[in-house]
Amino acid sequence: LSCPHKFRLRYIEQVPTPNQTFFIVGTATHAGVEAIHIGKSLQDALTEASLSVDAATSKEYDNALSPAEINDLVRTLVTTYHEQAVPLKITAVETPFQIDGNNVVLTGTVDAMVEGKTVLEIKTSKRAWSQPQADLQIQPSVYAFGLAFEKKLPGPIEVIYRVIVKPTKKFPKGQLMELRTVRTKEHFDHLIATINQVGNAVRAGIFPRNVTPACGWCEFRRICLGSTLPNYSQNGGDDE
């Protein structure tokens, strides 16, 4: 949904690209946070995160950071989450969902559920998020609708973003932000319309480029835009 051309390069043409450091950091941090959510100790959570880093860096990746540097960063982020996160009643982790549109099936996995009715998403970011950033994300609409569809939950559905901001001079251990946004039937109607529009385009063989600031850290930026775009550091979430 974010970029049909990226979808084509990744899933249809299957253009090979090395794993990216920001994705390794996000995945490993998720592993550590998930361990915390299911009641494991901080030490166990750090072990889970380090194992994720080791597995990812044993294969080809972009080498933006060394394995040791990635591991140190991930351990800092997981520790920050453990120290700063207000306890929530987590009732499920890694909850799958499926949305059926007009001959289009959209699947995904929610990081965690709070009290069986609220979506909890974990993000890592280089910079602090703003409330509009959370409100305008399409991802909460997808997750909220997916769970409403799967579990027959009544709307509106609240989505909690917990954003673990990477260390800075002001916050050498990083910081945890919590932003809340709500998805209603109007959001769901718009989402289904978007899914169907993209599905119709895909069936017609149309995969337009969606040029946004996110192109700066897309693994296909050189193939897609050549040298017209400089390299940027990852500034968004850890998922796409």
Q: What is the pLDDT of residue 240?
A: 30
Q: In what order do the strands lie in the sheet with 175-183?
A: 90-100, 105-114, 118-125, 157-165, 175-183
pTM: 0.82
- Amino acid sitting at position 162: R
Vertex 13 angle, CA 9 and 17, to 5°: 60
Q: What is the pLDDT of residue 239?
A: 40
Q: Measured between alpha carbons, how far is 83 from 99 in angstroms, rounded to an integer?
A: 36
Q: What is the pLDDT of residue 124?
A: 93
Segment 100-109 shows an average pLDDT of 72
Segment 80-109 shows an average pLDDT of 84
pLDDT at 184 over 50: yes
Taking only the tens place, the pLDDT of each residue in 205-216 is 888 787 776 776
Taking only the tens place, the pLDDT of each residue in 122-170 is 999 988 999 998 998 888 888 887 777 667 777 788 999 999 999 998 8
Q: What is the pLDDT of residue 233?
A: 47
Q: Measured between alpha carbons, how far is 183 from 206 in angstroms, rounded to an integer?
A: 29
pLDDT at 85 over 90: yes
